[in-house]
């Protein structure tokens, strides 16, 4: 029996210890719950009005934002149309400019060909007879000079090279 009394005493002490621990946990949880309720009340009083105000602001601003989005969409369509027309105009101007450059190139080429043909014709009709006449005149002049005795020896008009004059 003595063992039984010890067992009952130890079991009683364990139950009392468990009761003390559970009581401590109860009071600790009660304090934590009070703190959590205080925090929840503070959140309700401070953040809920802000959330409600943001919601009303979104409700009020939504039509304006939709209007702005519609305006931006309309403006982008207008700009796209203007850009397409500008692109077509620029392409047309470039095509016309290319055509004019081709025409100017052909005109210049034809003009240069005509100038070349004219130069050739002038060479053949004017310069060749002038050269022939000049050659004939030079021949006649040389003949008269020879006949009149101005140039009898071919060495008289030949100059002395510079190297022979060096002393």
- The predicted-structure confidence for 63-119, as pLDDT tens digits, reads as follows 999 999 999 999 999 999 999 999 999 999 999 999 999 999 999 999 999 999 998
In a domain, 165, yes or no: no
Q: What is the pLDDT of residue 150?
A: 63
Range of the structural domain that residue 75 is part of: 2-143
Q: Could you tell me if 148 and 154 are in contact, meaning their C-beta atoms sit under 8 angstroms apart?
A: no
CA 118 – CA 152 distance, rounded (Å): 45
The count of domains in the chain is 1
35 within a domain of the structure (yes/no): yes
d(CA 144, CA 161): 29
Q: In whole angstroms, what is the distance from residue 78 CA to residue 62 CA?
A: 24
Q: Give the per-residue pLDDT at 149.
A: 80
- The arithmetic mean of pLDDT across residues 22-36, rounded, is 94
Res 115: pLDDT: 93
Identify the pLDDT of residue 166: 58
Q: What is the mean pLDDT of residues 17-35?
A: 94
Q: Which residues contact 157 (CB under 8 A, 6 or more apart)?
A: 151
Give the global pTM: 0.40
Asked if pLDDT for residue 21 goes beyond 60, the answer is: yes
Q: Between 159 and 3, name the one with better pLDDT.
A: 3
Is the confidence at residue 15, as pLDDT, over 80?
A: yes
CB atoms within 10 A of CB 105: 10
Domain assignment of residue 84, yes or no: yes
Q: What is the pLDDT of residue 112?
A: 94
Whether 149 is in a domain gets the answer no
3-state secondary structure the chain: CHHHHHHHHHHHHHHHHHHHHHHHHHHHHHHHHHHHHHHHHHHHHHHHHHHHHHHHHHHHHHHHHHHHHHHHHHHHHHHHHHHHHHHHHHHHHHHHHHHHHHHHHHHHHHHHHHHHHHHHHHHHHHHHHHHHHHHHHHHHHHHHHHHHCCCCCCCCCCCCCHHHHCC
Please indicate, yes or no, if residue 151 is contained in any of the structural domains. no
Does 166 map to a domain?
no
pLDDT > 60? residue 155: no
The answer to whether residue 69 sits within a structural domain is yes
The residue ranking higher by pLDDT, 154 or 40, is: 40
Is residue 121 within 8 A of residue 127, CB to CB? The reply is no
Domain membership flag for residue 59: yes
């Amino acid at each position: 029996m003595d063992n039984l009394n010890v067992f009952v005493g130890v079991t009683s002490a364990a139950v009392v210890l468990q009761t003390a621990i559970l009581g401590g946990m109860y009071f600790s949880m009660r304090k934590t719950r009070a703190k959590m309720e205080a925090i929840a009340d503070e959140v309700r009083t401070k953040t809920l009005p802000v959330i409600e105000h943001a919601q009303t602001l979104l409700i009020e601003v939504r039509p304006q934002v939709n209007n702005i989005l519609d305006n931006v969409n309309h403006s982008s369509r207008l700009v796209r149309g203007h850009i397409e027309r500008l692109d077509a105009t620029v392409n047309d101007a470039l095509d016309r400019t290319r055509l004019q450059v081709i025409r100017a190139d052909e005109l210049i080429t034809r003009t240069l060909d005509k100038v070349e043909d004219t130069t050739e014709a002038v060479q053949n009709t004017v310069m060749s007879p002038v050269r022939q006449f000049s050659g004939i005149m030079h021949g006649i002049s040389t003949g008269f000079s020879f006949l009149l005795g101005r140039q009898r020896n071919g060495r008289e008009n030949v100059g002395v090279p510079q190297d022979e004059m060096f002393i």
